[in-house]
Structure formats: structure tokens, C-alpha cells
């Protein structure tokens, strides 16, 4: 799959862990940015979504706020 997948997450976020487990189980390569410690990526996430909620999952040009498994599967073509 050529689509770039990025997840903005925090270490204590249950839904972030679920999303990353989903990616791992489905062989999806992704970049994970810890917005609890990475101020630049936190700003990037807020600029992208206008909010502080995590996870924020970016698949290509599409952004999903929260872990909506059905929407993520659709965007990944799974």
C-alpha cells in the first residue's frame, strides 16, 4: 500500500492503542507521533483538526478523528 498513514497519539489513550493494534494486525505501516511529548506534532495535529482529541489518523489526504474502525478500513481499502 502506497498511502501514507500517520497517527497522532498519546501513551495513555486507549483508542490510540486500539488503532495501532488494528494497524499492526492488518500489516499497515504507519508513523506514530506522541503528541504528549512532541510539541511540534501537537501543533500540527491541532492545525489539522482544530482540536486536541486523540487519536487523529491521517490516511493520505483524509483525516479521521478518533478510532472509527469502519472508516479506517474504508480509507485503507480493506
pLDDT tens by residue, 16-69: 999 999 999 999 999 999 999 999 999 999 999 999 999 999 999 999 999 999
| pTM for this predicted structure | 0.94
How many Cβ atoms sit within 10 Å of the Cβ of residue 51? 10
- Predicted pLDDT of residue 2: 64
CA torsion through residues 41, 60, 3, 58, sign: positive
Q: 13-76 falls under which CATH superfamily?
A: Glutaredoxin (3.40.30.10)
Burial (CB < 10 A; 0-12, 13-18, 19+), residue 12, is exposed
CA separation for the pair 22, 68 (Å, rounded): 11
Give 78's pLDDT tier (boundaries 50, 70, 90): confident
Q: 511529548: which residue's cell?
A: 37
Q: Find out whether 44 and 56 touch, Cβ atoms under 8 Å.
A: no
So where are the chain's domains?
Answer: 13-76
Amino acid at each position: 500500500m502506497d498511502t501514507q498513514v500517520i497517527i497522532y497519539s498519546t501513551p495513555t489513550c486507549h483508542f490510540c492503542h486500539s488503532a495501532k493494534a488494528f494497524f499492526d494486525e492488518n500489516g499497515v505501516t504507519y508513523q506514530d507521533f506522541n503528541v504528549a511529548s512532541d510539541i511540534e506534532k501537537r501543533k500540527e495535529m491541532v492545525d489539522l483538526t482544530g482540536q486536541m482529541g486523540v487519536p487523529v489518523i491521517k490516511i493520505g489526504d483524509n483525516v479521521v478523528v478518533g478510532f472509527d474502525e469502519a472508516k479506517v478500513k474504508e480509507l485503507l481499502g480493506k
